[in-house]
Amino acid sequence: MITLILNDRLIRTDRPAGLPLLDFIRYDQGLRGTKIGCREGDCGACLVLEGRLIGERLRYRSIVSCLTPLANAHGRHIVTIEGVNGVGLNPVQQAIADLGATQCGFCTPGFVMALSGLCLSEYPVTAEQALAALDGNLCRCTGYQSLREAALRIAAQLPAAPEARSLAVLAEKGFLPAYFTQIPERLAGIAPLRHKPRPGRIHLTGGTDLFVQRPDEVLDAPVNFFAGKKALEKISFRKGVCTIGSAVTATDIARNPVLQQHFPRIREHFSLIASTPIRNMGAIGGNIANASPIADMVIFFLALDADILLRSPQGLRQLPLKRFFLGYKQLDKTPDEHIEAIRFALPGSNIRFHFEKVSKRTYLDIASVNTAICMEMNGDTIVRIGLSAGGVGPVPMFLTETCNFLSGKPLIESLLAQADEVMQQEISPISDIRGTAAYKRLLLRQLLYAHFAELFPERSFAAFFQSLKR
């Protein structure tokens, strides 16, 4: 039986585990404030907050209910627009009303929930953070300026430090109803669901790919749900090696303090993936198993020459991630295997790493071409290099030949043009809605330049840059 707290009510339900949370909220529970827009995670009209206990701390994040299976709400506090209503308008609703940040109102519950998520954020509230909180919401009629002003006004009203924004403080200031302060105790009383993965079932972690592609199957077929499984949600470090469980979300990877030390720009790089609510849900295992040739997290970890760990009733199997992709949407994986983790050597201080993505829109768009590079230098010589590229072949590619060509060579400018020639031989892009094959070839050439320009700002690659214009 699935048990959750929906706003202030404890709910036990035997409704299907694969039912979209959105439908459960609207049709089973009659809470119509949460709207149905795209049902594809794009618009944020269905946005709700998910509160979960991490140890003794209650953590809230925004999620899209259209792509969340009911099973993933087990043991959680799910907050809809009805759940933040108090007496009169709360400060978030007041800011939206005062600044004229609503017209038809269809998107408004989603925006209120995104900004309520900002109030409850486990991270410091800054102006940048306030604007980013809205990155998963679309509005067709108001225009975004007034919404941004509302976000900034709310940020200015909130204590920046998370410790100064306890549930009690937020309730006292009227941002939340008082019942929130009882939620940690109430959630602690819900026992976790314990089901082992069974062979032959569909695997589901965040649902952000699966629900878009095969929603009916999730509803009807038996599913292995991986979100919330503690063993799969861990990031661990041992002897210079990092292991990331398959259910770790993009948000948790980007926010991990140790990974931030080794990849100082990881938050910036991951901000190019989807939107805040999708990053709060979408996990590394799903990104890999979805087998998209442009999966951003795959491209990031491919350049590090990561391994993948696959679990089945027969045991654990480890293989290089670059060998996991056999052909378009074909994986070296049996139906009984699920992804348990990825593993890679943490880059040392002599390693330079960079990620690039080009898409039609900067945010909330999938890549036309993406690429990552990881380089170890000894003086002027490239000792070791990992270069990955997406959107230029049927699978996410580790560019072995290009890497072999560059390894051991001194980094002089003419090397880039030669490397590009090897790289162009190695890739095989096709024309599709994200661009022609020729355009993708040009993009990757430009991104090769971007990698070197970013990693070696002290050097000039002017001749190679000029050649890009021809």
* Residues of the shown chain interacting with ligand FES in the complex, contacts defined by CB under 6 A: 36-39, 41-46, 64, 66, 102-108, 139-142
392 contacts 444 by C-beta, under 8 angstroms: yes
In whole angstroms, give the CA distance from residue 404 to residue 385: 8
Q: Which residues pair with 235 in a beta bridge?
A: 244
- Considering the complex, what minimum distance in angstroms separates the CB of residue 383 from ligand FAD? 30
Residue 309 binds what, of ligand FES, ligand FAD, none (CB under 5 to 8 Å, by partner type)?
A: none
Q: 120 is written with which tokens?
A: 């409850």
Residue 228 binds what, of ligand FAD, ligand FES, none (CB under 5 to 8 Å, by partner type)?
A: none
- Considering the complex, what minimum distance in angstroms separates the CB of residue 409 from ligand FES? 48
Q: Work out the number of other CB atoms within 10 angstroms of the CB of residue 414.
A: 9
Q: Is 51 helix (H, G, I), strand (E, B) or coil?
A: strand
With CB under 6 A as the contact rule, the residue among 6, 244, 339, 397 that binds ligand FAD is 339
455 backbone dihedrals φ, ψ, rounded to 5°: -80, -25
Give the residue carrying structure tokens 């009805």: 82
Residue 157 binds what, of ligand FAD, ligand FES, none (CB under 5 to 8 Å, by partner type)?
A: none
Q: Is 18 in the site for ligand FAD (CB under 6 A)?
A: no
Q: Is 273 in the site for ligand FAD (CB under 6 A)?
A: yes
Strands, sheet with 351-358, edge to edge from the N-terminal-most edge strand:
351-358, 369-378, 381-390, 397-398
The enclosing H or E element of 217 equals helix 215-220
**C-beta closer to ligand FES: residue 47 or 450:** 47
Q: 290 is written with which tokens?
A: 């979805």
**CA within 13 Å, CB half, 106:** 10
- Considering the complex, what minimum distance in angstroms separates the CB of residue 44 from ligand FAD? 10
Q: Candidates 82-90, 145-153, 236-244, 281-289 — which segment interacts with ligand FAD by CB under 6 A?
A: 281-289
Q: Is 66 helix (H, G, I), strand (E, B) or coil?
A: helix
Q: Is 9 helix (H, G, I), strand (E, B) or coil?
A: strand
Q: Is 366 in the site for ligand FAD (CB under 6 A)?
A: yes
In whole angstroms, give the CA distance from residue 392 to residue 260: 29
Residue 103 binds what, of ligand FAD, ligand FES, none (CB under 5 to 8 Å, by partner type)?
A: ligand FES
Q: Is 147 in the site for ligand FAD (CB under 6 A)?
A: no
- Considering the complex, what minimum distance in angstroms separates the CB of residue 143 from ligand FAD? 22
Selection from 213, 219, 281 nearest residue 18 by Cα? 219
- Considering the complex, what minimum distance in angstroms separates the CB of residue 225 from ligand FES? 20
- Considering the complex, what minimum distance in angstroms separates the CB of residue 206 from ligand FAD? 3
In whole angstroms, give the CA distance from residue 93 to residue 317: 51
With CB under 6 A as the contact rule, the residue among 18, 20, 33, 41 that binds ligand FAD is 41
- Considering the complex, what minimum distance in angstroms separates the CB of residue 20 from ligand FES? 9
In whole angstroms, give the CA distance from residue 290 to residue 273: 15
Selection from 382, 153, 355, 211 nearest residue 271 by Cα? 355
In whole angstroms, give the CA distance from residue 172 to residue 178: 8
**C-beta closer to ligand FES: residue 102 or 368:** 102
Q: Where are the alpha helices (DSSP H) in 35-126?
A: 91-98, 108-119
**C-beta closer to ligand FES: residue 104 or 231:** 104
Torsion 425-431-435-438 (CA) sign: positive
**C-beta closer to ligand FES: residue 5 or 47:** 47
Q: 257 is written with which tokens?
A: 């303090």
Residue 105 binds what, of ligand FES, ligand FAD, none (CB under 5 to 8 Å, by partner type)?
A: ligand FES
**C-beta closer to ligand FES: residue 42 or 340:** 42
With CB under 6 A as the contact rule, the residue among 53, 212, 235, 430 that binds ligand FAD is 212
**How many residues line the site for ligand FAD (CB under 6 A)?**
32
With CB under 6 A as the contact rule, the residue among 13, 102, 137, 208 that binds ligand FAD is 208
Residue 226 binds what, of ligand FES, ligand FAD, none (CB under 5 to 8 Å, by partner type)?
A: ligand FAD
In whole angstroms, give the CA distance from residue 317 to residue 325: 15
46 contacts 22 by C-beta, under 8 angstroms: yes
**C-beta closer to ligand FAD: residue 48 or 295:** 295
Q: Is 287 in the site for ligand FAD (CB under 6 A)?
A: yes
Q: Which residues pair with 382 in a beta bridge?
A: 377
User: Where in 216-255 is the site for ligand FAD (CB under 6 A)?
Assistant: 226, 246
**C-beta closer to ligand FES: residue 146 or 370:** 146
User: Where in 81-100 is the site for ligand FAD (CB under 6 A)?
Assistant: none
CA 64 to chain centre: 13
**C-beta closer to ligand FAD: residue 3 or 208:** 208
Residue 290 binds what, of ligand FAD, ligand FES, none (CB under 5 to 8 Å, by partner type)?
A: ligand FAD
Q: Applying CB under 6 A, which residues contact ligand FAD? A: 40-42, 202-210, 212, 226, 246, 273-274, 278, 281-283, 285-287, 289-290, 295-297, 338-339, 366
